[in-house]
Structure 1
């Protein structure tokens, strides 16, 4: 027995065999499926828990504005086109409009942030957002009684943002015209328009009512592309972004496509991401503060690429406090001396504090009843599901209060005994279809079914706050010890050892849930009744249309054609069955505007979230500079950049080679025609691209644009891949992204091969199968990992959770025929890529994500993947390529890329020996 133990110890001590133990941080729900449990704990798509403190009720989705009546008996929360009137005594909310249709809508055309109670405890002033008006609403009668238009006196296309009451006047921010508006409530007239910085977002006033503070979250004023008009934009819009952000070119402008493209100026300009102070006695701006960490500074050898995003301000008797979302800190302004006097780092836990991931947003500042001083600051942490309680004398976080998912606003009752907290996503979405599912009154779309929350929390004493703090951290992560024998291709931590995987191809798609594609697989936890893109599908469509007497096109009711036993996405099914897939993967996102941030390692900030929850018109020809605002649905704008960036910047810092096919292409106002094939989208307004990926992005690959067939994209991809990395002298980069977006779906186009919505899915499926067929026959396959996922799940339904989506992995080191039940999200994907390529984590979501070692094996299987062809009744790829006068050569595609030439390989062998003697 002793000899056996000795032999075992000696064996384990051999190089490469010894076990090593690592400490990791992982989400608490890593072995669980998403669920909503309002009585205990709910599990979010991130794998984190939410356990809101105090009394909690569910209200309409995405609340971003909150006001309390002076008597403390009512509150109003503002949503997109909706408001909720809350009875704070009974803690009950009334949605306006209600689901029954008995209470008319007050905000038929949108809203944005601003809401304020009048002194009569019943009248409320509401931002009408995109329509550039302030609405006056009666909370007793539950109806809109009047409105005030911000347009006039030379100003047009106004966009109402935050607002507040100042005696008998309203102070209102117009984000489109970069101004603060003063409105006399007796005459309903504008008395002054005062310039602000770009995209004014947050508004506050000093206790003596003399100074107004404006937080500007805009970074640049974006010009229109010269020469573009409404009639020629299809041909004159820029085929590719003209420059990278924060560069000499973006500052001064460049010559591109035969035109001089104007620059954006400096990101450090006073107008950019700053706080301005206005003297209300003179209507003059008296100070401009650049709060937070500035672009270009260095933090632990990482260059700051994201502006501070100062979004909210509260004002005490001497100091104003500003939440800098990107920096996870609070700036302190001594407004009497007009100086920035410091910052308060929001340190919440030693294991997390090195990384960003809090996103401070809404603020509340009570004044001490004894000496009228400020001692405590409450901060809604948008990305941390908590409210931070900050001790102002020591400038330290005293503790944390658990909230719902994505807290946006926090207010204190007039008697300072109760905190009221809004959270945008509450308990999450939950299922939105399947057997036994009962459709709720708000509908089943992910953005509707995911209700916000309103909390009433008694102000905690020190003992209760300590309990709350412990709960918040337990909701966020657990410390997990992982043993590593050195064999798993996925290292436990970045740089802990080398992986045999040298190349990662990251394929991203659009808008599908798990159940609708893979719900029939018996090895996964699916609902086959929802598998509308699975096997044996029946498709119905109207046979014809007629003209009614009014001239309108009408369906011929009763005339339908049925296609039965159709196999819509056979390659997805085959890839899942042959390699590895997850039945417990969730997009952190609701829609593309969130998804393309999350999947590229960028946490959406308050600007992204608030814009995503509000309508807004882009007007390239408007006189209002803020109407050319950044609101990318498939890209990342400079206003959105995290402090040290995301995935692109992380790879650049770590010297990891990368190349991008089609990601970050869909900027606001993009032109997307079937002919827009060089990038998929053309620009009518000048928006830059992230600097780290700009030079490494294909100029001949159509990103998001459902007018372009995915088969066309595959021809572009195969052509460039072959020229660069198979026949050329370059080696395949370590990281490659490819966007294959047509499973987003679009309207039927039967003349070009898309008679049904399902046709887009079949096109996408064929492209994904074709991609894997191609890659698995290249010389790089032996060291490759292919990750396939969706940017968001908004197009479908799922019986577990509306966020559940697709995650498949393929490659020689991926287990064959494996289904993972371990929780996964975008953070898990990023952690996988960072660990394999030896790249340090960027934010708290990477750091605390689930570790997906169960997908991998140390015994590689090099067999290639064989493509499956779609049902010709659903999609004809030749018809889709006909407008381009191209014919798909399926024999060549099935054969795969040209095999290595021995002479070329011999020459390359000796060339490398000369370079590395």
Structure 2
């Protein structure tokens, strides 16, 4: 039976949702009522005690067999480790460092051994453990898999006979490991399966593996190693939980809003449980962890992207029933409950946060040589743990109402959109309504905050002290903000480029992306074979892995479904070896829908050349009489190359980007398509510099005959809101809960068109200004990997850019990020 049961039904009437008046002039941060408004319009109000878990991104918790301790595994940007958490004292009792790790952790049945994944080092660390004093000591590191290939041990569990079963995330095997001899026996899993976890039946006769990449669960007979059955699930089956009798297997599907319930005897789906706030909403809840409590009668589901736990009564088979929601911290990655009903939730991005920088005070400055990773946005992912007693029915109803208040999502998105929309708006109220706008052009740039570029515009909420690419460098950025609308309260949802391009095109980053990028950005995603060959997890985004694709797809998938023509210029495109060689794409929907001679990310290639190539294409469209209705253009050079000798200076590269932007928009505004066009310009993320309001605040521009002229719009808007606006114009359904819930840019548009074209402003900074060998940070710049976005140490890169503009003796403002780091009660 496939019953789509949602935990929201009995509480829908009690939901108090954010309105336009609540969002209109607000800034992200802690509100007077104690909630924390996030840059995307969602809120945090975690229940229970909130305790710090250093350093960052806890990914898994496992109970010690005696029940007092939880082992909490950290696999983020900062140092990897396992914390031993004393659940009686509510405190960390011990810290176990590990060089590298990945989500995989298990206790021996007697609790005297702890097994921990060694990540890309392809080992399993074995620690002794003394529960009397919580002392741990490493005994050995067991090699696993093929030494000449990348294996990455992941989910693991110890069988009743003492065998350690492990799935290898990249080796795609199920391994039986003899922990005494180190010998292994492998059960091969399908190519592309990228397994996440394994769970052993109570009698030890069957082991189950969740195939993260293939949406399947495999059941393997442990004595014979033969496959008993395979079951299809929803996307990204990850954590699993078995009832004590071994009859039912619960599987969280992180790229859906569901948990699959498998009849473990019959090898078939018995029921599918929805974990989202409403029964029929797009993907985006990200149920990535589950556990059973009260002797298997209650299921707890950690919804990572909804920042809550869904609570389900599963005491009657096939008749799952909602008990409500519990708001927790940001991005919960693991949930566990004690036999007594004490609940523990590890929050990957902390419990309460937003760190607005209202002043450039002395402690807002970084002294040379004192650039700790704590200030980098990846390093600010301080984890936390929410601890509370299982709520009573009365408290559950109250907490559920709070969970709804923390979400701007509605079951009928049209209600919210209609309430915000002026009567004469060219942006439709609902998908499918007509619009005078037929063409949307989406320009994606790289990594700038609002203050870095527009902090010198006196009309907006800027800080000129942080403006390093002001009017003299970016005349077109400033002119667009003056001639059309200035958006001074606009935010990106992403942290770095790895999740940035996912959010920019799909309004979502999958659990695969969120678990992978902190490891790779932190330098713990690459290992070496015995012969010294580098092997790594790779860049997880932009079409490199099928598993990174959101369930709701990207904007071009929605265009294809709706019969809307589309074309990509550089976005999700692989460059040819030289600019003369054609590019390729790994994205099926983009085949035959991209320009192979438009250069994607390549900092040695000028943006003005990209603009020239696009304008050639525009001339062809003019001659043919039709242009694709949706176009995405990548202009990446505001990323800059630092002060690498022989490369253009940071200001020259940003000036190049500025001129290219102006040229593209002038060309479009002088075309025959201008009367039915809207242009949207965003940064993929804002990680490359400080901002006095929030690290997610960025620049964005809108140009169209229907855009208000000379206006300042201070509504709190986001990248997902731009995506929602384009969806409404083009008649596309939302891709995720985040564009579905986002505020469209109604306040930027007007009913009567003004067809005045935009006139590109000439460059006012020399584009041929070249870094000299004695420029500050020149040698460091040569050592940075700038061949791929964000491959370089970003904090060092920020300092190089700052000093190249402000002078070698100027201390760089500390990029205090608005990652979710504040702890309410420690």
Give the alignment's TM-score, normalised by structure 2.
0.81
Summarize the Cα distance change of 1:609–1:519 in structure 2 as closer, same or farther, 3 Å threshold. Answer: same
Kept in 2, the 8 Å contact 1:674–1:708? The answer is: no
Q: Which has the larger radius of gyration?
A: 1
Q: CA deviation at 1:636?
A: 6.5
Aligned CA RMSD, in angstroms, stands at 3.2
In structure 1, the partner of 2:429 is: 492
Question: Secondary structure of 2:601's partner?
Answer: coil
Kept in 2, the 8 Å contact 1:593–1:633? The answer is: yes
In structure 2, the partner of 1:115 is: 105
The question of 1:195 aligning with 2:188 is answered yes
Q: 1:796 aligns with which of 672, 689, 692?
A: 689
Summarize the Cα distance change of 1:277–1:864 in structure 2 as closer, same or farther, 3 Å threshold. Answer: same
Q: CA deviation at 1:510?
A: 1.1
Q: 1:82 aligns with which of 71, 80, 83?
A: 80
The question of 1:587 aligning with 2:577 is answered no
In structure 1, the partner of 2:514 is: 609
In structure 2, the partner of 1:689 is: 587
Find the aligned partners of 2:275 and 2:724 in 1 and give their Cα distance.
24
Kept in 2, the 8 Å contact 1:813–1:861? The answer is: yes
Summarize the Cα distance change of 1:276–1:719 in structure 2 as closer, same or farther, 3 Å threshold. Answer: same
Q: CA deviation at 1:68?
A: 3.1
Q: 2:204 aligns with which of 195, 206, 209?
A: 209
In structure 2, the partner of 1:659 is: 567
In structure 1, the partner of 2:126 is: 136
In structure 1, the partner of 2:817 is: none
Summarize the Cα distance change of 1:463–1:126 in structure 2 as closer, same or farther, 3 Å threshold. Answer: same
Which 5+ residue runs of structure 2 have no aligned equivalent?
1-15, 367-371, 773-826
Find the aligned partners of 1:62 and 1:24 in 2 and give their Cα distance.
29
Summarize the Cα distance change of 1:154–1:817 in structure 2 as closer, same or farther, 3 Å threshold. Answer: closer
Summarize the Cα distance change of 1:94–1:451 in structure 2 as closer, same or farther, 3 Å threshold. Answer: farther
Find the aligned partners of 1:396 and 1:283 in 2 and give their Cα distance.
36
Summarize the Cα distance change of 1:483–1:340 in structure 2 as closer, same or farther, 3 Å threshold. Answer: closer
In structure 1, the partner of 2:635 is: 740
Q: 1:25-104 to 2 correspondence within 5 Å?
A: 29-36=23-30, 40-59=34-53, 60-70=55-65, 71-80=67-76, 81-83=79-81, 85=83, 86-93=85-92
Find the aligned partners of 1:169 and 1:155 in 2 and give their Cα distance.
25
Summarize the Cα distance change of 1:457–1:718 in structure 2 as closer, same or farther, 3 Å threshold. Answer: same
Question: Secondary structure of 2:401's partner?
Answer: helix
Find the aligned partners of 2:761 and 2:695 in 1 and give their Cα distance.
29
Q: CA deviation at 1:158?
A: 2.5
Q: CA deviation at 1:530?
A: 1.4
Summarize the Cα distance change of 1:730–1:160 in structure 2 as closer, same or farther, 3 Å threshold. Answer: farther
Q: CA deviation at 1:338?
A: 2.5
In structure 2, the partner of 1:379 is: 301
Find the aligned partners of 2:435 and 2:391 in 1 and give their Cα distance.
49
In structure 1, the partner of 2:760 is: 867
Find the aligned partners of 1:875 and 1:154 in 2 and give their Cα distance.
48
Kept in 2, the 8 Å contact 1:410–1:422? The answer is: no
Q: 1:286-297 to 2 correspondence within 5 Å?
A: 286-292=228-234
Summarize the Cα distance change of 1:733–1:156 in structure 2 as closer, same or farther, 3 Å threshold. Answer: closer
Deviation sequence 1:199-218 (CA, Å, 0-9, x none): 11122222223322111122
Find the aligned partners of 1:204 and 1:432 in 2 and give their Cα distance.
46
Kept in 1, the 8 Å contact 2:331–2:349? The answer is: yes
Deviation sequence 1:345-364 (CA, Å, 0-9, x none): 335325xx243221211111
Q: 1:281 aligns with which of 192, 208, 223?
A: 223
Q: 583-592 or 410-419: which moved more?
A: 410-419
The question of 1:678 aligning with 2:582 is answered yes
In structure 2, the partner of 1:418 is: 343
The question of 1:406 aligning with 2:400 is answered no
Find the aligned partners of 1:131 and 1:283 in 2 and give their Cα distance.
26
In structure 2, the partner of 1:822 is: 715
Find the aligned partners of 1:153 and 1:492 in 2 and give their Cα distance.
56
Summarize the Cα distance change of 1:807–1:178 in structure 2 as closer, same or farther, 3 Å threshold. Answer: same
Q: 1:630-669 to 2 correspondence within 5 Å?
A: 631-635=539-543, 637-665=545-573
Q: CA deviation at 1:829?
A: 0.7
Deviation sequence 1:417-442 (CA, Å, 0-9, x none): 33333333543453479513846975
Q: CA deviation at 1:93?
A: 4.3
Find the aligned partners of 1:773 and 1:122 in 2 and give their Cα distance.
69
Summarize the Cα distance change of 1:138–1:775 in structure 2 as closer, same or farther, 3 Å threshold. Answer: farther
Deviation sequence 1:73-104 (CA, Å, 0-9, x none): 444232234235234334344896xxxxxxxx
The question of 1:342 aligning with 2:271 is answered yes
Summarize the Cα distance change of 1:840–1:152 in structure 2 as closer, same or farther, 3 Å threshold. Answer: closer
Kept in 1, the 8 Å contact 2:565–2:628? The answer is: yes
Kept in 1, the 8 Å contact 2:422–2:746? The answer is: no
Q: CA deviation at 1:119?
A: 5.7
Q: CA deviation at 1:661?
A: 1.0
Find the aligned partners of 2:762 and 2:535 in 1 and give their Cα distance.
46
In structure 1, the partner of 2:807 is: none
In structure 2, the partner of 1:361 is: 288
Which 5+ residue runs of structure 1 have no aligned equivalent?
1-22, 97-104, 219-271, 293-307, 369-373, 536-566, 880-917
Deviation sequence 1:811-847 (CA, Å, 0-9, x none): 2211122221111112211111112223233332222
Q: CA deviation at 1:659?
A: 1.7
Q: CA deviation at 1:798?
A: 1.4
Kept in 1, the 8 Å contact 2:330–2:347? The answer is: no
Kept in 2, the 8 Å contact 1:427–1:451? The answer is: no
